Chain A
């Protein structure tokens, strides 16, 4: 405990009044010091206060080396504050979000624009785009509707011939108002909405959601439920990583692995369905525990399916990485150096591929990951190859993990009753989803009702990396670079 920030750990709720509230000047200094000491911004967001005309800004910092989370806040009077983005680029999107949600202008922000265009007064994708002027420089606009079966977003390229000088990504088309719906008392749709924050991360987001409620209630899910959650989370990772490797090989027209992995991804989704009846894990994670049991016979079937899935994916992926023409396309494409990745606050496999060793399962373990570790996998080249290879390494680790624990489940109940939430508390829940760290912060009011929920999908941290990765690349490499991150549009837009 220090007077700069309230230091706590992932998944514990703290009293709101214990969070130090600084004046803006001190707040900026503490944040700058913490970031230069290696901490990361997990979330930064506004909250209404009792007084009109003032807004509280709450920051959550992660200290990965010490497995701690720090909370601190400041109050802004009026409609402007001095931007911290020029010194701390990882705040750029958070500040734009505060600008949009609370009409607070971060003075000196280098590129202040709306994030999601939630008010309908200005359609998404409008406004100024960064432009490069000059002879033979041209602009390419793509989206919102894209060529494949994929979510909408707008990409604006500044090109010189085939070479991309700059890419600006404009999102917001998927804005559905989830954060507002989850931040206003007990919503009967709550956990279901959490499952749809990003449909491919249903398990990750519903876990983070439920864990905030459990922390606020001062309860833990039963051990058996924690193990089942961990298995589901790794199954989600397996399906998506496998699909991504297939899609990457599709984008370079290496069709064998593209076809094989498209099918094998489905096999992993079916393993999730074996547990809960739904391929995306809908209904699996519930506040206080899980909604489905993993009986011994079912665990045996899971292990069998997993062994088959692993044999298939190993065959398909080894073929991919053994093919020289594949490596020629993957290597040195879309490189993001470690310094850039950490400056932007990158998370997940994209960060680990650039050599930024950071994984919530290792650094801030919660639930069953406190007892069973999954080794962290990193690469250091930061290119498409590294992002692909990290996924392959993680596939192997996840399979090993599930194999070890699935048939050795503890006995016990699947769900505990939560009871009332503690009033005036703040809970932070971070989960290492397959795209990386996803964060839910939930705050209760004096009656113990949720009065604010902040959701941060890993994509929110990582979209800027994609824009960076395209610099000085051929525009034709965009699909490949894009797939190597495979970020969520709806997770970003909420």
Chain B
């Protein structure tokens, strides 16, 4: 017993103060949202579009502007490496979650509209206590691991009233990871059906949002379809801070009026 107390003393108090204080620093080489600054582009070179392994970049029809689909992006940096004129910047902002799939399309002309979270009616019911069931439907265990991290003492998700539970019957919603393999489709649907309404669905990671790297594979269904999604958290995998930010926005624990400006010059 005395050893446990000594160890506890040695390990100190490590739960982060966020959101009451600034979040822990992101890695210096963290890749946030990529934006193509087309004024720097060589005329229509398209090198980034071709380099992207998941076809996340697209030129707007008839325009020079290039749109990034954060729902597909795996934040690999291949576009930046391929760019001959250093026109692509990754910002260093962990905030990326949105309410709608379409909101994940960003460009130099369109900033990311961050999630506003539950409707007030739902918030009255679930806002102070949200129990989630996690289903991995082909997830590679990276998204799962960084969701799990939120349950460690460093992040202590429980302090926000959010908890992962062992049965869909105890849940108010579901957090889905993975591209939804054919072999998991029915188990995913059954889990969804077993959750009492009203229910919240969160698609976490490029796979769940769009199929990610497995988009187009016969074995997968290109992410969540046929189940209404309330929150999209992009990333491959998303940083724990990105996931936490999304969850906190969902339950209105972050000020909705904070400045949404992102720093385009950040990154490396």
Residues of A within 8 A of B145 (CB): 199-200, 280
Stretch of A77-85, A271-279, A418-426, A469-477 with 4 or more beta carbons under 8 angstroms from chain B: A271-279
Is there an interface contact between B137 and A196, defined as CB atoms closer than 8 Å?
no
Can you report 28 residue pairs joining A to B where beta carbons are below 8 Å apart?
A123-B186, A147-B167, A148-B148, A148-B166, A149-B148, A152-B187, A174-B181, A175-B219, A176-B219, A177-B219, A188-B53, A192-B53, A193-B213, A196-B142, A196-B212, A199-B140, A200-B142, A200-B145, A256-B7, A256-B8, A259-B152, A266-B154, A273-B30, A278-B27, A280-B142, A282-B76, A315-B7, A315-B11
Is there an interface contact between A279 and B7, defined as CB atoms closer than 8 Å?
no
Residues of B within 8 A of A322 (CB): 3
Q: Whole-angstrom distance from the CB of B148 to the nearest CB of chain A? A: 5
Residues of B within 8 A of A181 (CB): 217
Interface flags for B15-31 (1: CB within 8 Å of A; 0: not) read 00000000000011111
Q: What's the Cα separation between A279 and B268 when bound, in Å?
A: 17
Is there an interface contact between B217 and A312, defined as CB atoms closer than 8 Å?
no
CB-CB nearest in chain B for A187: B53
| B136 sits at the interface (CB 8 A) | yes
Q: What's the Cα separation between A174 and B144 when bound, in Å?
A: 13
Residue in B187, B213, B218 whose CB lies within 8 Å of A145: B187
| A357 sits at the interface (CB 8 A) | no
Is there an interface contact between B152 and A279, defined as CB atoms closer than 8 Å?
no
> Which B residues between 74 and 91 are near A, CB-CB below 8 angstroms?
74-77
Is there an interface contact between A274 and B28, defined as CB atoms closer than 8 Å?
yes
Closest 8 pairs between A and B when the two form their complex, measured CB to CB: A199-B142, A277-B29, A199-B140, A262-B152, A147-B166, A177-B219, A273-B27, A124-B183
Is there an interface contact between A312 and B11, defined as CB atoms closer than 8 Å?
yes
Interface flags for B212-229 (1: CB within 8 Å of A; 0: not) read 111001111000000000
Q: What's the Cα separation between A19 and B13 when bound, in Å?
A: 60
Is there an interface contact between A151 and B30, defined as CB atoms closer than 8 Å?
no
New A-B contacts (19) at CB < 8 Å, excluding given A152-B187, A262-B151: A117-B183, A123-B186, A145-B133, A148-B148, A175-B219, A176-B219, A177-B217, A198-B141, A199-B145, A199-B237, A256-B7, A270-B27, A273-B29, A274-B27, A276-B29, A278-B75, A283-B31, A292-B29, A323-B3
Q: What's the Cα separation between A117 and B187 when bound, in Å?
A: 15
CB-CB nearest in chain B for A125: B183
Is there an interface contact between A175 and B7, defined as CB atoms closer than 8 Å?
no
Residues of B within 8 A of A263 (CB): 14, 152-154
| A260 sits at the interface (CB 8 A) | yes
Is there an interface contact between A259 and B153, defined as CB atoms closer than 8 Å?
yes
Is there an interface contact between B146 and A279, defined as CB atoms closer than 8 Å?
yes
| B191 sits at the interface (CB 8 A) | yes
Q: Whole-angstrom distance from the CB of A326 to the nearest CB of chain B? A: 11
| A189 sits at the interface (CB 8 A) | yes
| B48 sits at the interface (CB 8 A) | no
Is there an interface contact between A196 and B140, defined as CB atoms closer than 8 Å?
yes
Is there an interface contact between A176 and B179, defined as CB atoms closer than 8 Å?
yes
Residues of B within 8 A of A117 (CB): 183
Q: Whole-angstrom distance from the CB of B199 to the nearest CB of chain A? A: 16
Is there an interface contact between B144 and A149, defined as CB atoms closer than 8 Å?
yes
Is there an interface contact between B214 and A176, defined as CB atoms closer than 8 Å?
yes
CB-CB nearest in chain A for B179: A176
Is there an interface contact between A176 and B181, defined as CB atoms closer than 8 Å?
yes
Interface flags for B117-159 (1: CB within 8 Å of A; 0: not) read 0000000000000000111111111111111110111100000
| B236 sits at the interface (CB 8 A) | yes
| A448 sits at the interface (CB 8 A) | no
| B54 sits at the interface (CB 8 A) | yes
Is there an interface contact between B27 and A173, defined as CB atoms closer than 8 Å?
no
| A319 sits at the interface (CB 8 A) | yes
| B184 sits at the interface (CB 8 A) | yes
Q: What's the Cα separation between A123 and B185 when bound, in Å?
A: 10
Is there an interface contact between A175 and B27, defined as CB atoms closer than 8 Å?
no
Is there an interface contact between A144 and B184, defined as CB atoms closer than 8 Å?
yes
Q: Whole-angstrom distance from the CB of B144 to the nearest CB of chain A? A: 5
Residues of A within 8 A of B134 (CB): 148-149
Q: What's the Cα separation between A176 and B139 when bound, in Å?
A: 9
Q: What's the Cα separation between A198 and B28 when bound, in Å?
A: 25
Is there an interface contact between A277 and B30, defined as CB atoms closer than 8 Å?
yes
Q: Whole-angstrom distance from the CB of B163 to the nearest CB of chain A? A: 11
Is there an interface contact between A189 and B54, defined as CB atoms closer than 8 Å?
yes
Q: Whole-angstrom distance from the CB of A414 to the nearest CB of chain B? A: 12
Q: What's the Cα separation between A206 and B212 when bound, in Å?
A: 18
Q: Would A283 and B76 be within 8 Å (CB), given that A274-B28, A292-B29 are in contact?
A: yes
Q: What's the Cα separation between A488 and B139 when bound, in Å?
A: 11
Is there an interface contact between A150 and B136, defined as CB atoms closer than 8 Å?
yes
- Which of A120, A150, A176, A276 has the most CB atoms of chain B within a 10 A radius of its CB? A176
| B232 sits at the interface (CB 8 A) | no
| B60 sits at the interface (CB 8 A) | no
- Which of B53, B144, B184 has the most CB atoms of chain A within a 10 A radius of its CB? B184
Is there an interface contact between A151 and B183, defined as CB atoms closer than 8 Å?
no
| A197 sits at the interface (CB 8 A) | yes
Q: Would A315 and B184 be within 8 Å (CB), given that A176-B179, A199-B145 are in contact?
A: no
Is there an interface contact between B184 and A490, defined as CB atoms closer than 8 Å?
no
Residue in A173, A273, A312 whose CB lies within 8 Å of B184: A173
> Which A residues between 110 and 134 are near B, CB-CB below 8 angstroms?
116-118, 120, 123-124
Residues of B within 8 A of A312 (CB): 11
CB-CB nearest in chain B for A301: B28
Q: Whole-angstrom distance from the CB of A392 to the nearest CB of chain B? A: 15
| A316 sits at the interface (CB 8 A) | yes
Q: What's the Cα separation between A279 and B142 when bound, in Å?
A: 9
CB-CB nearest in chain B for A189: B53
Is there an interface contact between A282 and B214, defined as CB atoms closer than 8 Å?
no
